[in-house]
């Protein structure tokens, strides 16, 4: 409770001095802070991020927040880089790490929704991470897959809403559309063969919502 108040109190500091945002980001790299508390840090970062309003694109770029969150979510990241796991049971580490990654996916979702068309420079990277979680991580908890599917839905929604990211380079747009078409195949396959996903009502809802946007 005290820790939550500590992070939340940074709202006022950042409102007065947006560059204080960097102070909170550094908490993510403190390995002495538990994975559970890092979930609170990520949530605080997201809430502060979306409060920047019209300045949001500037500060997202300046502090590299989307790339930082994407790295935590990606298969390249290692839990040991973010937390001291000595003395922790393997199952607890796995669960807490998946919860943190799920929180990062959910908060990436909120940030790109707020950014709207300004999220275009990150969209391919984010799409790859969401698809990677769904396709290649078989042993992850269902919460992580729910977050990945919700993020995939947002990417498809933004792509449709903003005219297929019209201000993106032609080459990038082609790659984006190819990957979205591939995502459709992945989603259709999940409804048939994704045992853990198709039997989860939340995952199934997100899959069907994605496919409806792709009609």
Distances (CA, A) of 27 to 14, 37, 76, 114, 125: 15, 10, 20, 24, 24
> In this structure, what token pair is assigned to residue 63?
């502090």
| Average pLDDT estimate for 36-60 | 87
Query: Cα(19)–Cα(13) distance, rounded to whole angstroms?
Result: 9
Assign 53 to helix, strand or coil. Answer: helix
The answer to pTM > 0.85 is yes
Query: Cα(120)–Cα(126) distance, rounded to whole angstroms?
Result: 10
Quickly state the pLDDT bin for 172 (edges 50, 70, 90): confident
Alpha helices in 17-167 (DSSP H): 21-27, 35-49, 56-63, 65-73, 90-115, 123-136, 142-161
Pairwise pLDDT comparison (211 vs 52), residue with the higher score: 211
Structural domain boundaries of the chain? 2-213
The 10 Å Cβ neighbour count of residue 69 is 26
Q: Kindly state the DSSP code that residue 78 receives in the 8-state scheme.
A: -
Query: Cα(212)–Cα(210) distance, rounded to whole angstroms?
Result: 5
Cα 55 to its chain centre, rounded Å, is 21
For residue range 133-146, what is the model confidence (pLDDT) as tens digits? 988 887 678 899 99
């Amino acid at each position: 409770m005290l820790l939550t108040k500590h992070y939340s109190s940074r709202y006022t500091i950042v409102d007065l001095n947006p560059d204080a945002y960097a102070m909170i980001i550094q908490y993510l790299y403190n390995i002495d802070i538990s994975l559970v508390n890092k979930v609170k840090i990520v949530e605080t970062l997201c809430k502060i991020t979306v409060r920047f309003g019209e300045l949001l694109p500037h500060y997202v770029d300046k502090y590299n927040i989307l790339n930082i969150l994407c790295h935590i979510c990606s298969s390249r990241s290692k839990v040991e880089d973010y937390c001291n796991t000595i003395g922790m049971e393997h199952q607890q580490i796995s669960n807490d790490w998946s919860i943190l990654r799920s929180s990062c996916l959910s908060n990436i979702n909120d940030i790109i929704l707020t950014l709207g068309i300004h999220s275009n420079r990150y969209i391919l990277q984010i799409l790859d991470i969401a698809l990677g979680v769904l396709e290649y991580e078989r042993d992850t908890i269902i919460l992580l897959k729910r977050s990945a599917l919700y993020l995939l839905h947002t990417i498809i929604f933004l792509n449709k809403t903003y005219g297929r990211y019209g201000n993106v380079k032609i080459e990038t747009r082609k790659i984006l559309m190819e990957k979205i078409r591939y995502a459709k195949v992945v989603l259709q396959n999940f409804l048939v063969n994704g045992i853990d996903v198709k039997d989860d009502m939340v995952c199934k809802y997100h899959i069907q919502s994605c496919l409806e946007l792709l009609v």
